[in-house]
């Protein structure tokens, strides 16, 4: 999407709340009046979509990438305990304090993320502002365009809200962009997403566009984050029973779990809303998965670089199942450690874990001795940059198949890690588990159990197992919840844990923990466990330790949100007084 309109967009967009040069139309760009027609507005809308991946390259702007990836692999998954930074200590060192919850307001990652989300907001506002001047757009198209733009604005503000909580707000009517961050903006986010849900059509003219039901899912997510479970339940039930993707196909879980992470099966019936990636399209690799380019095995396998985003032992242990029931143990999953090859070179003998496991593990985590897509068995040490630092595991969900190289990967870039493998921002499994969560809070425990079982049944299907030739690659055993749920606290725990294993490494975990009020308790136990310190009662001491986290801890009342970038506070200063106020504790 980027290549279509990036040059003309540069004349109507803002990179931050206050940069004087951005108040002028740059030379060589078009002003808003020249874009006030259907073609111009549609181009602006495409430009607003193009920021979803967290990367901009064009119109004199080069911004973002892994620091601001739309997948939130740093802020959602690493901070949530799904993964460690990985690679080695010296590469991308700004992630180190983010993982340890010691980052300050001068960390460049935060400024880049801030600038990207506000770029998306500015582009969405430009669509609405310029459309108001156009005279050749039909009423139906105006409503549709407004729905898409307001959805995108709502999404970008939602991203900022999750990150920083108190943020400045401006819509398409605001001309003074130096606004304070002293108000709660949930009402504005909710209004944008509700408008999109109420006004967008079911079927769109392109797979990547948001439709009514994707907007409904995002609206429901906004309600859940505010604890409005009854209202969310109503919307989610409609999405669950009536929802269709942008092509008009009813939402449904794919038969095979792994097909959610395959470029050949993207934009499926399970894809509610996805960030669209494409390669070899004349965009100089700009439209591929730029934000995930670091997140491949270090050498010898797919991507050829760079060994980041290594799954944690805590996440791996979560996929252990009871050998009798096939169910997980949300309380004591860290009592025993899934066997790993920590400390072993690739030529040393190693037999993988023989206990019962959820099949989703090996589509979420690359581990030694298990087939890694069609690349052969993961060799362990030889694919890891610094095993002592990052651990023995590799990411896999964003990875391409060997058979897709140079077809679903960009041929013009220094690494094959630029891929066409979409990032699915909302999957139908996500919707099902949100609905289960809302049912638990309403007291409908049996319906919640049925919904969770729907997700687990897919994992139990042999079609979702990793195969080693003609046999399963591990001792997979996934059971359903067969005993009626009668205890709300136990049901709540089961639903929340199912989200952890179904959506592992997809950028959601930290934000879930914060909205549930569980971040401080879990993350302090987690940080102790993965660094080899005594932690929660019943949890063991792992062989696979991250010693660099020995002193790491999470501070309640502070670390639920990240610091407002100091550079943005400085830019907001007028008469010696900044409009933007720093978050508590920073």
Return the CATH number at 477.
Answer: 1.25.40.390
Q: Is residue 330 part of a domain?
A: yes
Residue 59's pLDDT is 65
pLDDT for residue 323 is more than 70: yes
* Residue 532 tokens, joined: 């080899």
Residue 342's pLDDT is 98
Angle in degrees, CA 51, 57, 63, rounded to 5: 70
Structural domain range at position 355: 296-397+444-549
Residue 31's pLDDT is 81
Q: Is residue 339 part of a domain?
A: yes
pTM: 0.95
Average pLDDT over residues 107-111: 98
Torsion angle, alpha carbons of 144, 147, 149, 150, to 10:
170
CB-based contacts of 323, cutoff 8 Å, min separation 6: 355, 356, 477
pLDDT digits (tens, 9 = 90+) for 173-189: 999 999 999 999 999 99
Residue 61's pLDDT is 75
Q: Is residue 486 part of a domain?
A: yes
Residue 14's pLDDT is 38
Of residues 15 and 292, which shows the higher confidence score?
A: 292
Residue 414's pLDDT is 83
Q: Is residue 345 part of a domain?
A: yes
Of residues 85 and 282, which shows the higher confidence score?
A: 85
Please, are residues 195 and 206 in contact by the beta-carbon 8 Å criterion? no
Q: Minimal CA–CA distance to 176: which of 55, 29, 17?
A: 17
Q: Which contiguous run of DSSP H or E holds residue 473?
A: none
* Residue 331 tokens, joined: 């309380």
Of residues 312 and 412, which shows the higher confidence score?
A: 312
Q: Minimal CA–CA distance to 149: which of 12, 46, 287, 8?
A: 46
Residue 62's pLDDT is 80
Q: Minimal CA–CA distance to 398: which of 500, 540, 297?
A: 297
Please, are residues 382 and 353 in contact by the beta-carbon 8 Å criterion? no
Of residues 22 and 350, which shows the higher confidence score?
A: 350
Rounded to whole angstroms, the Cα distance separating 427 from 253 reads 9
Please, are residues 296 and 284 in contact by the beta-carbon 8 Å criterion? no
Confidence band (pLDDT; 50, 70, 90) for 30?
Answer: low
Quickly count: other Cβ atoms within 10 Å of residue 242's Cβ: 13
Quickly count: other Cβ atoms within 10 Å of residue 507's Cβ: 21
Residue 60's pLDDT is 67
Confidence band (pLDDT; 50, 70, 90) for 57?
Answer: confident
Q: What percent of the chain has pLDDT over 90?
A: 91
Rounded to whole angstroms, the Cα distance separating 351 from 431 reads 38
Tokens 């359903």 belong to 480
Quickly count: other Cβ atoms within 10 Å of residue 114's Cβ: 23
Q: Provide the number of structural domains found in the chain.
A: 1
* Residue 492 tokens, joined: 């709540």
- Region class of 152: left (phi > 0), else alpha (psi between -120 and 50), else beta: alpha
Rounded to whole angstroms, the Cα distance separating 476 from 352 reads 13
Residue 29's pLDDT is 52
Average pLDDT over residues 263-283: 96
Q: Is residue 516 part of a domain?
A: yes
Q: Is residue 176 part of a domain?
A: no
pLDDT for residue 137 is more than 90: yes
pLDDT for residue 397 is more than 80: yes
Q: Is residue 178 part of a domain?
A: no
Q: How many CA atoms lie within 13 A of 282 on its CB side?
A: 3
Please, are residues 466 and 396 in contact by the beta-carbon 8 Å criterion? no
Q: Is residue 308 part of a domain?
A: yes
Confidence band (pLDDT; 50, 70, 90) for 7?
Answer: very low
Average pLDDT over residues 155-159: 99
Rounded to whole angstroms, the Cα distance separating 366 from 380 reads 9
Residue 58's pLDDT is 72
The DSSP string of 28-51 is TS--GGGG-SHHHHHHHHHHHHGG
Please, are residues 305 and 298 in contact by the beta-carbon 8 Å criterion? yes
Please, are residues 404 and 195 in contact by the beta-carbon 8 Å criterion? no
Residue 304's pLDDT is 85
* Phi, psi (rounded to 5 degrees) for 56: -135, 130
pLDDT for residue 483 is more than 90: yes
Peptide bond into 174 cis (omega under 30): no
The per-residue b/e assignment along 453-469, b for 16 or more CB within 10 angstroms, e otherwise, is: bbbbebbbeeebbbeee
pLDDT for residue 222 is more than 60: yes
Residue 413's pLDDT is 83
CB-based contacts of 483, cutoff 8 Å, min separation 6: none
pLDDT for residue 117 is more than 50: yes
Torsion angle, alpha carbons of 287, 291, 297, 300, to 10:
40
**Range from 30-34, 369-373, 399-403, 544-548 carrying the lowest mean pLDDT:** 30-34
The mean of the pLDDT values for the chain is 94
The DSSP string of 313-358 is HHHHHHTB--TTT----TTTTTSSPPP--TT--TTS------S-B-
pLDDT for residue 326 is more than 70: yes
pLDDT for residue 27 is more than 50: no
Rounded to whole angstroms, the Cα distance separating 181 from 169 reads 7
Quickly count: other Cβ atoms within 10 Å of residue 575's Cβ: 5
Average pLDDT over residues 51-61: 85
Average pLDDT over residues 458-469: 99
Rounded to whole angstroms, the Cα distance separating 109 from 24 reads 27
Average pLDDT over residues 340-348: 98
Question: From the CA atom positions of the chain, what is the Rg in Å?
Answer: 23
Can you tell me whether residue 304 is helix, strand or coil? Answer: coil
Q: What percent of the chain has pLDDT over 70?
A: 95
């Amino acid at each position: 999407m980027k290549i279509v309109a990036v040059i003309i967009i540069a004349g109507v967009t803002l990179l931050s709340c206050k940069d004087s040069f951005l108040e002028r139309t740059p030379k060589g760009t078009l002003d808003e009046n020249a874009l006030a027609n259907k073609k111009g507005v549609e181009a602006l809308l495409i430009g607003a979509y193009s920021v979803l991946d967290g990367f901009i390259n064009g119109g004199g702007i080069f911004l973002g990438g892994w620091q601001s990836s739309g997948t939130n692999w740093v802020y959602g998954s690493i901070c949530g305990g799904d993964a460690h930074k990985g690679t080695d200590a010296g590469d991308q060192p700004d992630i180190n304090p983010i993982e340890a919850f010691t980052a300050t307001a001068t960390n460049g990652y935060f400024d880049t993320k801030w600038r990207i989300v506000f770029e998306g907001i500015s582009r969405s506002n430009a669509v609405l502002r310029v459309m108001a001047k156009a005279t050749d757009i039909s009423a139906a198209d105006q409503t549709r365009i407004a729905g898409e733009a307001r959805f995108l604005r709502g999404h970008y503000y939602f991203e900022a809200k999750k990150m920083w909580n108190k943020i400045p707000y401006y819509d398409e009517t605001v001309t003074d962009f130096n606004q304070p961050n002293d108000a709660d903006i949930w009402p504005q986010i909710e209004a944008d997403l509700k408008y999109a849900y109420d006004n967008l059509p079911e079927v769109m003219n392109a797979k990547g566009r948001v439709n009514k039901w994707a907007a409904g899912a995002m609206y429901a997510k906004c309600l859940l984050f505010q604890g409005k479970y009854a209202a969310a339940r109503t919307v989610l039930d409609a999405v669950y029973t009536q929802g269709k993707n942008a092509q008009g196909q009813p939402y449904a879980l794919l038969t095979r779990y792994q097909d959610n992470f395959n470029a050949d099966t993207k934009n499926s019936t399970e894809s509610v809303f996805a960030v669209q990636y494409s390669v070899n399209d004349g965009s100089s690799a700009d439209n591929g998965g730029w934000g995930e380019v670091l997140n491949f095995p270090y050498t010898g396998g797919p991507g050829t670089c760079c060994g980041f985003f290594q799954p944690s032992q805590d996440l791996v242990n979560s996929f252990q199942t009871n050998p009798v029931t096939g169910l997980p143990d949300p309380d004591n999953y860290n009592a025993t450690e899934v066997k790993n090859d920590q400390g072993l070179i690739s030529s040393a003998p190693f037999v993988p874990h023989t206990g019962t496991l959820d099949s989703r593990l090996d589509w979420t985590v690359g581990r030694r001795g298990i087939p890694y897509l069609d690349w052969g068995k993961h060799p362990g040490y030889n694919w890891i940059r610094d095993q002592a630092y990052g651990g023995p595991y590799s990411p896999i969900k964003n990875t391409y198949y060997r058979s897709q190289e140079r077809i679903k990967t960009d041929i013009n870039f220094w690494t094959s890690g630029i891929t066409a493998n979409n990032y699915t921002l909302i999957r139908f499994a996500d919707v099902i588990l949100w609905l289960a969560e809302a049912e638990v809070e309403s007291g409908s425990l049996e319906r919640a159990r049925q919904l969770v079982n729907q997700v687990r049944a897919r994992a139990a299907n042999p079609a979702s197992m990793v195969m080693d030739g003609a046999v399963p690659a591990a001792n997979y055993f996934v059971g359903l919840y067969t005993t009626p749920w009668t205890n709300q606290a136990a049901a709540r725990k089961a639903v929340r844990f199912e989200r952890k294993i179904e959506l592992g490494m997809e950028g959601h975990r930290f934000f879930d923990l914060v909205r549930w009020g569980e971040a401080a308790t879990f993350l302090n136990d987690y940080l102790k466990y993965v660094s080899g310190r005594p932690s929660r009662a019943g949890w063991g001491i792992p062989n696979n330790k991250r010693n660099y986290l020995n002193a790491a801890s999470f501070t309640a009342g502070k670390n639920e949100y990240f610091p407002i970038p100091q550079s943005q506070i400085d830019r907001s200063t007028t008469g010696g007084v900044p409009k933007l106020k720093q978050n508590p504790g920073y």
